[in-house]
Amino acid sequence: MQLFELSAPCHFGTEAVLKKEIYDLGYDILKVEDGRVTFQGDAEAICRSNVFLRTTERILLNVGTFHAETFEELFQGIKNLPWEDYIPLDGKFWVTKATSIKSKLFSTSDIQSIAKKAMVERMKTVYHSRWFEETGSAYPVRIFLMKDEVTVTIDTSGDSLHKRGYRIYSAKAPITETLAAALLMLTPWRKDRILVDPFCGSGTFPIEAAMMAADIAPGVNRDFLAMSWNNLIDRRLWRDAREEALDLENRNVITDIQGYDLDGEVVKSARENARLAGVDHLIHFQKRPVSELSHPKKYGFIITNPPYGERLEEKKDLPPIYGDFCRQFKQLEDWSAYVITNYDGLEKQMGRKADKVRKIYNGMMKTTFYQFMGPKPPKRKRPQGEEISE
């Protein structure tokens, strides 16, 4: 059994939940860095991690790591890597992305060009060929430089894993599916608890929550680039991973998940996205302003991504929007609220400090995940006398 070193990039600030996800899949964690978790696994792990992981952007196969401060060192380092172990003679290979942070080599276009030339030189020597048709499967390479340490990877996912296949309709400022899943996992919410998103937009939070509740794997309905890598991964392993995911599904689970938005057209889009995800029967979407936020039961969760006011003219609208939200939340007895935003007036309008705050990057935007925690529900008795939580 061939073991690979695999890396899973994620949103900065969500490494802990991704680490737990990988561990729960049964794989050994090798390293946790800012925005990345590295682990070890076989060909089956490539399939299962693409299908099951909710909080990573993609699964990368690590080819090698070396130190480089000059382009000559970069060229030789790339050339010395065993590309023939991964890319067949007819494989299509190119450097799709290079990233450089705090390194002497900073021109990403030059890094990409030199790396491609070095790969070709290696392949010429190994395959005894001077020309490569590149008509076969695709092997896109991603290179990361951090403090002159070069990490070279091949992307197994293709389209980013946040593209579950259900979000055809998008709101103005959507949160990605991977980040929504990570934020849900950072809360104590579970499928038997109430969840409301009063700024639901295209429905990402409610849909991701419903998929978790029904144990629907995020990648079960999409394809991945490495599915054509017959030289490395038996096609049967992809089929097995998908069948495993389908066997775990429970679409008959009982939930109380709700999403509200002021815009009726946006609500229609959220409903359609939920239908495409197969969870429309688990979510109640409604056109409702945040000023009418309410729920008859106690001990619920609000998990939401309110407007940020990215443009200057929109910022004046934020205080009344957040004021309505905070006023209505205070009327929800024993509820908890988890809010991701870059609006710095939330705690003032809430009239209390958040119990926890976590810095999260939403794309390139630095935001804060505010956690206002309510009390735990009381325990109730089972018929046999065993106590369980509500």
Q: Profile the chain (390 residues) by mean pLDDT over runs of 10 residues.
A: 95 96 98 96 98 98 98 98 97 97 96 98 94 95 98 98 87 83 97 97 97 98 97 97 98 97 94 96 98 96 88 73 97 97 94 96 90 90 55
Residue 172: the pLDDT is: 63
Residue 365: the pLDDT is: 86
Residue 390: the pLDDT is: 46
Q: Which residues contact 241 (CB under 8 A, 6 or more apart)?
A: 44, 47, 48, 50, 51, 52
Residue 276: the pLDDT is: 95
The model's pTM is 0.93
Residue pair 115/143 in contact (Cβ under 8 Å)? The answer is: yes
How many Å apart are CA 229 and CA 166, to the nearest integer? 26
Residue 312: the pLDDT is: 46
Residue 381: the pLDDT is: 65
Residue 364: the pLDDT is: 80
Q: In what order do the strands lie in the sheet with 92-101?
A: 28-33, 36-41, 4-9, 60-67, 149-155, 138-146, 92-101
Distance of CA 66 to the CA centre of its chain: 28
